[in-house]
Amino acid sequence: MLSIKNLHAGINGNKILNGINLEVKAGETHAIMGPNGSGKSTLSAVLAGRDIFEVTQGEITFNGKNIFDMSPEQRSREGLFLSFQYPVEIPGVSMVNFMKTAINEHRKYKGLEPLSASDFLKLMRDRKELVEIDAALTNRAVNEGFSGGEKKRNEIFQMAMLEPKLSILDETDSGLDIDALRIVANGVNKLKRPDNATIVITHYQRLLDYIIPDFVHILYNGRIVKTGGKELALELEEKGYDWIKNTEESESNL
Amino acid sequence: MKPTVNISPKEDFINLYLDNLDLITENSSGVLNAVRQSALENFKLLGFPGLKNEKYKYMKVEAFFTGDYEKYFTPKRITFNVDDIFRCDIPSLDTHLALTLNGFYLSNPHPISEFENGVIVGSLAEAAKKYPNVVGKYYNSLSGNDADDGLVALNTAFAQDGVFIYIPKGVRVDKPVQIINLLMSDEQQLVQYRNLIIAEEGSQVEIAICDHTLSPEKFLSNVVTEIFTNGNASIDLVCMQNQHNDTAQFTHIFGQQEKDSKLVTNTISLHGGTIRNNINILLNGEGSESHTYGLSLVDRTQHVDMYSFIEHAKPNCTSFEQYKAILDDQATGAFNGRILVRKDAQKTQAFQSNNNLLLTADARMFTKPQLEIYADDVKCSHGATVGQLDLEAKFYMQSRGISEREAKLLLMFGFAHDVVGHIKIEALRDRIDELVNKRLRGELSRCHNCPMHCY
């Protein structure tokens, strides 16, 4: 589904990603962990098509198509979804208007007619229940005045509405209390299907108690330095990132 | 043949007045005529506002008044059925409708309508004849005090007619009053009319004023509206400006508020070549509340100039002010907002904000928020921003599959809706939202029944 080969990227001439390789297949859940500044958010931003980052080398294919040929909106319509670490507040734009526009653009891309108002509202109701989002939130402007937890829940709600093939959850756990974390993770698990895949980006092992990964990758200095099963996350939790840093530095000193 | 000697536009208008005084007075009424001469004297003194006038720093007013405009002092007899050429296309907006054509009230069929509950809507000239005491008590009592704007004096010298709205004590008007000002002519024309709105104690009314051009000729309008909100009364006024890009429009609103009254004005400038809106609010009674909102959507070489003056003269009053503008292409705009809190106006709360969105590098906005406070126990704030579309928000929407163009439009619409959302009449609010949306999309954004395609 997603194939990243030797990806190098940076911002304003500073290199952040230094040769990432990653394969994600349908039905898989991958976790990407790493200390601050290792390049986790850059990776998700490059995947989503944020143009402030420059890709200097490498290739990414999504559904067999070169991702760099696609605008952010095309990537979304192809089935890529990024749950933002810091969801953006958009005053004056209602959730209903925002989601209706998004859904209908997706439908247009698939050659489908726009949803009728009643079908759309039905879909909203249905998905709100699925991800346990407060009904009142969707009557407001996009993320405006939402608490940290509400914003994250709203990301999962949008994911439920758009039914992506590949979801990238960028630090979805940051700023969540335990209950909110459980609700968000439940939502993600309910949306999991054999034909879709998830990449969970996180600092902490905690989220992986709820969203069980098939693979855990450790990102450090813009490269994946270690890959393992879900037990790798536990090992990392126990030993801390210094373990990775020390291993890396001793290797580079050789 | 025109004389070759250069006569200044000011003298031109003074001569125009003297030459046509008989016609002007004949087609008006005693109350309006009574203040003409002193207004002309004022205009002689003030002339057209120049660039040195701080209020008019960003526009050359005189240049607009040098144009070769026809001026009519009798209503031109145009035989047509209004319904044939114009029908306001605001669905489900059931209103008391009043129309003016080129500044004269259109009797349809009567020059004045008095409803069962005592509400009066009609021609100002007729009202001044029929109710000289009421009209005389209010007419020019606010605008006459404007000692530094020659345009107001000019209007008062020439004004013959316009719309009169009177809401008696305690009456709450069930449906909105809608005034539609139409400009239609086969030659370019200057119009200067007057509106007078009076809400007596404890009354309530919603009013929508829509300005349209129905023919492509150049129009210049200079319009004064006085609004009196007496004790505990409430007026909601929406002004919708939708004229073609060859027009210049100068509007002056004067509002006076008495104890515990509420006055909400919302000016939506959709189209117009040059628009200058002045609003002056006097909070003259304790506990009164004023809301002044404005939205301007400008593109090409349009210019929109906003001036507001909110005067807190009594304690415990509140004022909210919000102006927003979206400027595209080479459009320019200016906002000059002054709040004055007088010495006795303790416990004043006054808030002002002006936010502007520039869509191109060539668009320009000048903004000047001013607070002048002479009381010592007040809560006031003002702020102005000039910026571009939020790129983070745009990317966020794109990442959900929304095209860049749609994302921009949604952002602009959201920015504008902040102002439109204050409109109380739901049908009108929805309609204006729709018009704003179409306007931003560059689609025809006028009542689409109109056969003229003015721009």
Supply the pLDDT for residue A204: 81
Q: Report how far apart, in Å, the C-alpha atoms of A214 and of each of A3, A25, A193, A230, B68 are.
A: 17, 11, 14, 6, 80
Tell me if B392 and A105 make a contact (CB, 8 A cut-off). no
* Contact with chain A for residue B404, Cβ under 8 A: yes
Specify the number of domains making up chain A: 1
Closest CA to B440 of B251, B296, B247: B296
Tell me if B396 and A87 make a contact (CB, 8 A cut-off). yes
Contacts of A92 (CB under 8 A, 6+ apart): A141, B413, B414, B415, B416, B417, B418, B421
Optimal mutation site among B353, B385, B400, interface A, most CBs of chain A within 10 A: B400
Residue B78 — very low, low, confident or very high, per pLDDT cuts 50/70/90?
low
Tell me if B400 and A84 make a contact (CB, 8 A cut-off). no
Q: Phi/psi of residue B331, each to 5°? A: -65, 150
Instruction: Give B334's strand partners.
Output: B305, B366
Supply the pLDDT for residue B213: 87
- Give the largest CA-CA distance in chain A: 66
End-to-end distance of chain B based on CA atoms, in angstroms?
33
How close is the nearest chain B Cα to the Cα of A207, in Å?
24
Q: What is the pLDDT along chain A (254 residues), one digit of tens a residue?
A: 999 999 999 999 899 999 999 999 999 999 999 888 889 999 999 999 998 999 999 999 999 999 999 999 999 999 999 999 999 999 889 999 999 999 999 999 999 999 999 999 999 999 998 888 777 888 889 999 998 888 988 999 999 999 999 999 998 888 788 888 888 888 889 999 999 999 999 888 888 888 999 999 999 999 999 898 988 888 888 888 888 878 777 766 55
Query: Which has the minimum average pLDDT: B80-89, B277-286, B358-367?
Result: B80-89
B323-357 pLDDT, tens digit each: 999 999 999 999 999 999 999 999 999 999 999 99
In a domain, B411, yes or no: no
Tell me if B400 and A93 make a contact (CB, 8 A cut-off). no
In a domain, B402, yes or no: no
Supply the pLDDT for residue B80: 60
In a domain, B4, yes or no: no
Nearest CB to B410 within list A72, A73, A97: A97
In a domain, A244, yes or no: yes
CB-facing half-sphere around the CA of A20: CA atoms within 13 A: 32
How many whole angstroms separate alpha carbon B283 and alpha carbon A237?
65
Task: Identify the H or E element spanning A62.
Answer: strand A54-62
Query: Which has the minimum average pLDDT: A62-76, A228-242, B201-215, B411-425?
Result: A228-242
Using a CB-CB cut-off of 8 Å, the residues of chain B touching A76 are 398-401
Tell me if A90 and B396 make a contact (CB, 8 A cut-off). yes
Q: Which amino acid is at B400?
A: R
* Contact with chain A for residue B417, Cβ under 8 A: yes
CB B76 within 8 A of CB B172: no
Q: Which two tokens stand for residue A24?
A: 């994600």
pLDDT above 60 (res B448): no
Specify the number of domains making up chain B: 1
Quote the radius of gyration of chain A (alpha carbons, Å).
18
In a domain, B100, yes or no: yes
Contacts of B77 (CB under 8 A, 6+ apart): none
Neighbours of B40 (CB within 10 A): 20
In a domain, A186, yes or no: yes
Instruction: Give B190's strand partners.
Output: B71, B220
How many whole angstroms separate alpha carbon B402 and alpha carbon A99?
9
Using a CB-CB cut-off of 8 Å, the residues of chain B touching A88 are 390, 392-393, 395-396
Helix count (H) and strand count (E) of chain B?
11, 22
Please report the ipTM that was assigned to this predicted complex: 0.94
In a domain, B305, yes or no: yes
Domain CATH number, residue A171: 3.40.50.300
Domain hosting B153: range is 9-389
CB B284 within 8 A of CB B309: no
Supply the pLDDT for residue A253: 59
Q: Report how far apart, in Å, the C-alpha atoms of A59 and of each of A32, A231, B455 are.
A: 19, 30, 49
CB A77 within 8 A of CB A22: no
Quote the DSSP letter at residue A87: P
How close is the nearest chain A Cα to the Cα of B422, in Å?
12
pLDDT above 60 (res B4): no
In a domain, A153, yes or no: no
Supply the pLDDT for residue B79: 60
Query: Which has the minimum average pLDDT: A112-126, B58-72, B266-280?
Result: B58-72
Domain hosting A50: range is 2-88+165-253
How many whole angstroms separate alpha carbon A199 and alpha carbon A194?
14
Supply the pLDDT for residue A105: 95
* Contact with chain A for residue B402, Cβ under 8 A: yes
* Contact with chain B for residue A84, Cβ under 8 A: yes
How many whole angstroms separate alpha carbon B312 and alpha carbon B372?
10
Q: Which residue has the higher pLDDT, A241 or B276?
A: B276
Using a CB-CB cut-off of 8 Å, the residues of chain A touching B403 are 73, 105
Neighbours of A138 (CB within 10 A): 21
Q: Which two tokens stand for residue A43?
A: 């990776």
Nearest CB to B414 within list A87, A88, A92: A92
* Contact with chain A for residue B398, Cβ under 8 A: yes
> What residue has token string 């709040």?
B339
How many whole angstroms separate alpha carbon A227 and alpha carbon A178?
27
Quote the DSSP letter at residue B172: B
Nearest CB to A92 within list B401, B407, B415: B415
- How many A-B residue pairs are in contact by the CB < 8 A criterion? 78
Supply the pLDDT for residue B123: 95
Q: Report how far apart, in Å, the C-alpha atoms of B455 and of each of A93, B61, B87, B412 are.
A: 29, 23, 19, 22
pLDDT above 60 (res B141): yes
* Contact with chain B for residue A105, Cβ under 8 A: yes
How many whole angstroms separate alpha carbon B124 and alpha carbon B192?
13
Q: Phi/psi of residue A139, each to 5°? A: -90, 0
Q: What is the mean pLDDT of chain B?
A: 90
* Contact with chain B for residue A76, Cβ under 8 A: yes
Instruction: Give A66's strand partners.
Output: A61
CB B204 within 8 A of CB B53: no
Nearest CB to A82 within list B390, B399, B416: B399
In a domain, B437, yes or no: no
Task: Identify the H or E element spanning A122.
Answer: helix A117-130
End-to-end distance of chain A based on CA atoms, in angstroms?
37
How close is the nearest chain A Cα to the Cα of B421, in Å?
9
Using a CB-CB cut-off of 8 Å, the residues of chain B touching A162 are 400-401
In a domain, B416, yes or no: no
Supply the pLDDT for residue B447: 44
Query: Which has the minimum average pLDDT: A203-212, B242-251, B281-290?
Result: A203-212
Buried b (16+ CB within 10 A) or exposed e, B285-310: bbbbbbbbbbbbbbbeebbbbbbbbb
Using a CB-CB cut-off of 8 Å, the residues of chain B touching A141 are 414
How many whole angstroms separate alpha carbon B176 and alpha carbon B427?
11
